[in-house]
Amino acid sequence: MEIFKQTNYDFIGKKWPFIILSLILTAAGLVSLWVKGGPKYGIDFTGGAFMDVNFIKRPSAEAIRAALRQKISGEIEVQEISGTQEVFIQTGARDDKALQIARGDMIDTLKTAFNPSDSAQKLDLNLSGQAAIADRLRDPLTQAGAGLAEDQLQTLSKAITAFRDTSSAHSGLILSLDDLSSVPSVTPKILNVIKQECLAGNFAIRSAETVGPKIGADLRQQAVNVVLIALGAMLVYIAFRFEWIYGVAAVIAVFHDTIITIGLFSLFNKQIDLTVIAALLTLVGYSMNDTIVTFDRIRENLKLQVRGSFTSIVNLSINQTLSRTVLTSGLTFLTAVSLLLFGGQVLNGFSFALVIGIMIGTYSSIFVASPILIFWHNLADGRGQQGRGPAPAGRSSVSDKGVKAAKPVKTAK
Amino acid sequence: MKTNLRYKFIFIAAVILVCLYGIIGLPKSKDELIANWHNNIRLGLDLRGGTYLVIQVQQQDAFNAQASSTADSLKEAARKANVPIGEVNVDEAKDLPSARNVAIVVKGVPSTMAGNFRSLVNEQFNEWLLTPQSPTDYRLTMKPTSALALWKNTLELSKNTIDKKINALGLSEATVQQRREDADSELLVQMPGVDDPARVKQIIQTAGVLELYEVKGGPFASREEALAQNGGVLPIGTKLIGQPPSGQPGAKGGGVYLVARTPVVRGTDIRDSKAETGQMPGSWSTGFVLSQDAARRFADFTGSHIGTPLAIVLDGKVLQAPSIKNQISDQGVIEGQPSQEEAQDLALNLKAGSLPASVKYEQENTVGPSLGADSIRQGFIAGIAGVLAVIVVMLVYYKKSGINATLALVLNAIILVACLSYFDAVLTLPGIAGIILTIGMAVDSNVLIFERIREELRAGKAVIPAVDSGFAKAFLTIIDTHITTVVSCAILFLFGSGPVKGFAVTLVIGLVANVFTAIFVSKAIFDWELSRPKPVAELSI
């Protein structure tokens, strides 16, 4: 099966609508960034506290916010995760001391607001680790005449947490203590002791993170530096393998992709955190890959002294690699979409960036990087010298088109 | 089959075997296979659940302590050398960035004694740099080399102490390391399987400095009262210690005591410590054992001081001050711990010793086990869905040659996972993303090659030369694209941290595996197909 057989589309001739589209996307992103005062960073970069809470039955975001408001000052963001009973709770950067207690505060407040009132005396199985459960049950089991040896006790608490974390209907939650009767090591006698000492609260903490403002700023600076250094290194490598203008064109194209992606994140009100940075770096690599394939073909065609103007050689090269471009992009796009669909909440930002970036990265090789090459070439060539003739071979000859070629080449008129 | 080609296949088979061995070892049963898999493929905290902490060591504490002890010895040395000095103060460093600027300010050195003072400092305090401020006043700052040594030493000591404390908690898999080369006061503590770090944080922060002092007076309700009772001036060789009783019900100890300036037993004298059941049923206490040297000293002291109260001081707080009943040599006990857990924690802290500087928690991240399990499942489903989609498209688009590409793809995945196992790399969520991206790049290499072969066929070449020149031409492009990505991964690895680093590692391994599978393996399969006795006139591509 073949979709593109020796195509001859005039991509370069139709570049303007696409360049204008690029400019509009860039401008929209920049305006959004400007209006919102910069990208919306995750707490990795700003400092603050984050908590992923899974409820048996989720209260409204407003109720959660109101409950937390009593204890925690400053911005509180509560985001409901569609299709689940989860919420993401996030508080903004505060001073170090407040952050140290933020996590305990948040859990305590949620407990008071959403758990049964007798929860203070009992151990919440949905919020406790294996060791805490074993400690709590050790003495009461003995008193109830169901005392266990230490290793049996550990096995029991391990079985309870394993039941909660892997095999329950809600991952990480025990819905009712009666459900524990299906755990092999829980006998009716033990279950009674568990019921007397413990309860199954209405929520579990899936993950929690606190980041100090200093380390946040540090990470942000580091991320920006990493991207810039990586771009610089790639520019040098391409300049070394091709010519410096190829490096510049590729880096501008990649920069264009990054700006548009960041702009779209701002437009869609999505957060930029460390995983998104990883995705942006992937895009940089991907878009670069795509651009190099095209450039590689241009270099090859120049060496082969294909007839035609520089513009037509670029156009020919794009057409020759079109089949590969579409297929590769399509397949990579498929993997990114599968990540977005099945990868879950944690990877959502990552896959969103990839899906957008692959589209933009593909078209930027054709409509951004290549026109820059042609523009520079025409500029260096001087006005009106759109002469026909084979382009010269050799690395140093693209920009001056044989007029001052290192190796003299016969010009065929 | 040509000999050359045979060697190639032997090599490929060897690579596959080595990789499979790296992933599953030599299992004899299904259970063993699964166990080996779990041992070899190590999951990161984000996938298996656990906590990591970023701890900032407050270096200024160590610098201030160093300066104040130097100030004390300077006074002493000056007295011995008969160099009169007015006052010696420490200009303390307020925060971490200014730690190195800590200074000792010496005032009132008679200008006639300037030479003596100078040589005293140069001879006995050569870690410090003396700058005159006026004819009689001086400022001592730490020499850069000494400051660097102290800085490194503080970090190393903090790291080891925290490591000891965490290991004593039974978290054998936990690790403590410097967070980054350039973050020279930050430690990263990783604790797999810990989903409630509150206790760990408490233990790390508790200094656990135990000292035993001879009591000279007290207890007093406050420092002021203690001073008043002694006529406003403390007797020579004594100091006040402890805090006013807090008045809270159940609060341990409290009260201000007048004690001998030097403790009988210091924190460093403790050799071992453990929780014990107390004398009262249900009560707990913490016992400790002294080192040989300290035991001798302690025996002498207790033998000659029967009846004298002895203050047990923990982290500057007087816990108890019982009277010495008889001679004690190497064992002691701290009674009245509220629970077994607290008795154990205290024992642990006494054993691990104190941190040279206080710590601040910069970052704390906990992933619960259920989230980790979900992430693995989702990542796995996404990966399988992606790979299946790619394989289907390749088979439809490139027909039989698509099988070639699929084999290369599968082999790529096997090599990647095996390398992760051999390098002891940890598989994280961004790592899974890196694997999925590697699949994309692997597909690209195959597509590049196949498109080239098609072009060559269209240009009228016979099958074998078309395949050869397709591979040869695509090779350059593949090398260029891969090296560019490797360059950017190298930058990510060098300058990135955490998730970014994990991503870079998997991607680089994947890229290298990809060059091998797409160029070497795939070519070998083509060659084998084309070298069969019946010459192939048409290629299924």
Any CB–CB contact under 8 A between A175 and chain B?
A: no
Q: Given this model, what pLDDT does residue B16 score?
A: 92
What does pLDDT average to over chain A? 82
Closest approach of A388 to chain B, Cα-based (Å): 25
Cβ of B484 within 8 Å of Cβ of A292? The answer is yes
For residues B295-314, give the mean pLDDT: 81
Given B382, B393, B443, which is nearest A338 (Cβ)? B382
State the Cα–Cα distance between residues B379 and B399, nearest whole angstrom. 29
For residues B243-247, give the mean pLDDT: 59
CA-wise closest residue to B94 among B143, B56, B58, B141: B58
Closest approach of B320 to chain A, Cα-based (Å): 28
Residue B329 has pLDDT above 60, yes or no: yes
Task: Give CA B432 to chain center in angstroms.
Answer: 23
pTM: 0.73
Task: Note if the bond before B97 is cis, omega within 30 degrees.
Answer: no
Shortest CA distance from B388: residue in chain A: A335
Looking at the structure, tell me whether residues A246 and A189 fall in a common domain: no
Q: Given this model, what pLDDT does residue A395 score?
A: 40
For residues A87-111, give the mean pLDDT: 77
Any CB–CB contact under 8 A between B166 and chain A?
A: no
Residues 343-362 of chain B with CB under 8 A from chain A are 360-362
Cβ of B500 within 8 Å of Cβ of A206? The answer is no
State the Cα–Cα distance between residues A58 and A81, nearest whole angstrom. 10
Residues 182-241 of chain B with CB under 8 A from chain A are 183, 186, 194-196, 198
Given A214, A342, A344, which is nearest B362 (Cβ)? A214
Pair B204, B198: CB distance under 8 Å = no
Best of A168, A281, A284, A395 to substitute, by most chain B Cβ atoms within 10 angstroms, is A281
Pair A230, A287: CB distance under 8 Å = no
Q: Of the spans A67-76, A383-392, B496-505, which averages the highest pLDDT? A: A67-76
Cβ of B496 within 8 Å of Cβ of A300? The answer is no
Looking at the structure, tell me whether residues A53 and A16 fall in a common domain: no
Given B458, B483, B490, which is nearest A6 (Cβ)? B458
Cβ of B365 within 8 Å of Cβ of A296? The answer is no
- Label residue B268 by pLDDT band (50, 70, 90): low
- Bridge partners (DSSP) of residue B277 are B284
Closest approach of B297 to chain A, Cα-based (Å): 40
Q: Given this model, what pLDDT does residue A97 score?
A: 66
Given B373, B454, B507, which is nearest A171 (Cβ)? B373
Looking at the structure, tell me whether residues A55 and A195 fall in a common domain: yes
Cβ-in-10-Å burial (0-12, 13-18, 19+) of A391 comes to: buried
Cβ of B362 within 8 Å of Cβ of A278? The answer is no
State the Cα–Cα distance between residues B204 and B223, nearest whole angstrom. 30
Residue A377 has pLDDT above 80, yes or no: yes
Size of chain B in residues: 541
Q: Given this model, what pLDDT does residue B130 score?
A: 87
Q: Given this model, what pLDDT does residue B215 score?
A: 83
Chain B neighbors of A204, CB-CB under 8 A: 368, 370
Any CB–CB contact under 8 A between B379 and chain A?
A: yes
Any CB–CB contact under 8 A between B430 and chain A?
A: yes
- Label residue A95 by pLDDT band (50, 70, 90): low
Q: DSSP letter at B353?
A: -
State the Cα–Cα distance between residues B474 and B444, nearest whole angstrom. 11
Burial A100-126 (b: 16+ CB within 10 A, else e): bebbebbbebbbeebbeeebeebbbbb
Residue B366 has pLDDT above 50, yes or no: yes
- Label residue A168 by pLDDT band (50, 70, 90): low
Element containing residue A132 per DSSP (H, E) = helix A130-143
For residues B251-272, give the mean pLDDT: 71
Looking at the structure, tell me whether residues A31 and A72 fall in a common domain: no
Q: Given this model, what pLDDT does residue B14 score?
A: 93
Residue A399 has pLDDT above 50, yes or no: no
Task: Give CA A28 to chain center in angstroms.
Answer: 21
Task: Give CA A209 to chain center in angstroms.
Answer: 18
Q: Given this model, what pLDDT does residue A394 score?
A: 41
Contacts from B290-293 at CB under 8 Å and sequence distance 24+? B290/B265, B290/B329, B290/B330, B290/B331, B290/B332, B292/B330, B293/B269
The domain made up of B206-363 has a fold known as Gyrase A; domain 2 (3.30.1360)
SS3 label, residue B179: strand
State the architecture of B59-145 in CATH terms: Alpha-Beta Complex (3.90)
Q: Given this model, what pLDDT does residue A96 score?
A: 64
State the Cα–Cα distance between residues B498 and B46, nearest whole angstrom. 11
Residue B253 has pLDDT above 70, yes or no: no
Cβ of B386 within 8 Å of Cβ of A6? The answer is no
State the Cα–Cα distance between residues A196 and A190, nearest whole angstrom. 10
Q: Given this model, what pLDDT does residue B208 score?
A: 65
* CB-defined contacts A:B, below 8 A: 236
- Bridge partners (DSSP) of residue B241 are B257
Chain B neighbors of A335, CB-CB under 8 A: 386-387, 389-390, 436-437, 439-440
Cβ of B496 within 8 Å of Cβ of A222? The answer is yes
Q: Given this model, what pLDDT does residue A388 score?
A: 41
Any CB–CB contact under 8 A between A285 and chain B?
A: yes
Q: Given this model, what pLDDT does residue B392 score?
A: 92
Distances in whole angstroms, Cα of residue A200 to Cα of each of A54, A57, A180, B158, B367: 13, 13, 10, 39, 20
Pair A276, A351: CB distance under 8 Å = no
Structural domain count, chain A? 2
Looking at the structure, tell me whether residues A151 and A234 fall in a common domain: no
Given A219, A222, A278, which is nearest B430 (Cβ)? A278
Looking at the structure, tell me whether residues A62 and A167 fall in a common domain: yes
Matching CATH topology for B59-145 and B206-363? no
Closest approach of B386 to chain A, Cα-based (Å): 4
Q: Assign domain B3-49+369-530 to a CATH class.
A: mainly alpha
Looking at the structure, tell me whether residues A184 and A242 fall in a common domain: no
Three-state DSSP string of B442-507: HHHHHHHHHHHHHHHHHCCCCHHHHHHHHHHHHHHHHHHHHHHHHHHHHHHHHHCCCHHHHHHHHH
Q: Given this model, what pLDDT does residue B30 score?
A: 86
Chain B neighbors of A226, CB-CB under 8 A: 491-492, 495-496, 500
Q: Which residue has the higher pLDDT, B510 or B266?
A: B510
Residue A318 has pLDDT above 90, yes or no: yes
Tell me the one-letter amino acid at B158: S
Residue B247 has pLDDT above 90, yes or no: no
Distances in whole angstroms, Cα of residue B207 to Cα of each of B63, B170, B310, B319: 17, 19, 21, 15
Shortest CA distance from A135: residue in chain B: B341
Chain B neighbors of A96, CB-CB under 8 A: 360
Could you tell me if residue A199 is inside a domain? yes
Could you identify the residue written with the tokens 């933020």?
Answer: A102
- Bridge partners (DSSP) of residue B287 are B274, B333
Residue B168 has pLDDT above 80, yes or no: no
Q: Given this model, what pLDDT does residue A315 score?
A: 92
Could you identify the residue written with the tokens 């039955």?
Answer: A57
Residues 230-249 of chain A with CB under 8 A from chain B are 230, 233-234, 237-238, 241
Interface pTM (ipTM) of the complex? 0.76
What does pLDDT average to over chain B? 82
Closest approach of A404 to chain B, Cα-based (Å): 27
Tell me the one-letter amino acid at A389: G
For residues A319-327, give the mean pLDDT: 90
Any CB–CB contact under 8 A between A7 and chain B?
A: no
| Two structure tokens written together for B376 | 């693995």
Pair A270, A39: CB distance under 8 Å = no
Cβ of A165 within 8 Å of Cβ of B485? The answer is no
For residues B391-418, give the mean pLDDT: 90
The residue range of the domain holding A241 is 12-40+212-397
Map out the domains of chain B as residue ranges: 3-49+369-530, 59-145, 206-363
State the Cα–Cα distance between residues B338 and B282, nearest whole angstrom. 9
For residues B475-481, give the mean pLDDT: 88
Residue B39 has pLDDT above 80, yes or no: yes
Q: What is the pLDDT of residues A193-233, one digit of tens each?
A: 888 888 888 888 888 888 887 777 877 888 788 888 888 88
CATH number of residue A273's parent domain: 1.20.1640.10
Residue A381 has pLDDT above 80, yes or no: no
A59-73, B452-466, B507-521: least confident range: A59-73
Looking at the structure, tell me whether residues A302 and A271 fall in a common domain: yes
Given A5, A206, A218, which is nearest B368 (Cβ)? A206
Tell me the one-letter amino acid at A292: I
Residue A382 has pLDDT above 60, yes or no: yes
Pair B259, B241: CB distance under 8 Å = yes
- Bridge partners (DSSP) of residue B54 are B188, B363
Q: Of the spans A317-326, B66-75, B167-176, B362-371, which averages the highest pLDDT? A: A317-326
Cβ of B500 within 8 Å of Cβ of A277? The answer is yes
State the Cα–Cα distance between residues B12 and B5, nearest whole angstrom. 11
Closest approach of B424 to chain A, Cα-based (Å): 22
Best of A346, A358, A362 to substitute, by most chain B Cβ atoms within 10 angstroms, is A346
Could you identify the residue written with the tokens 């060789």?
Answer: B237
Pair B441, B478: CB distance under 8 Å = no
Cβ of A344 within 8 Å of Cβ of B54? The answer is no
Q: Given this model, what pLDDT does residue B449 score?
A: 92
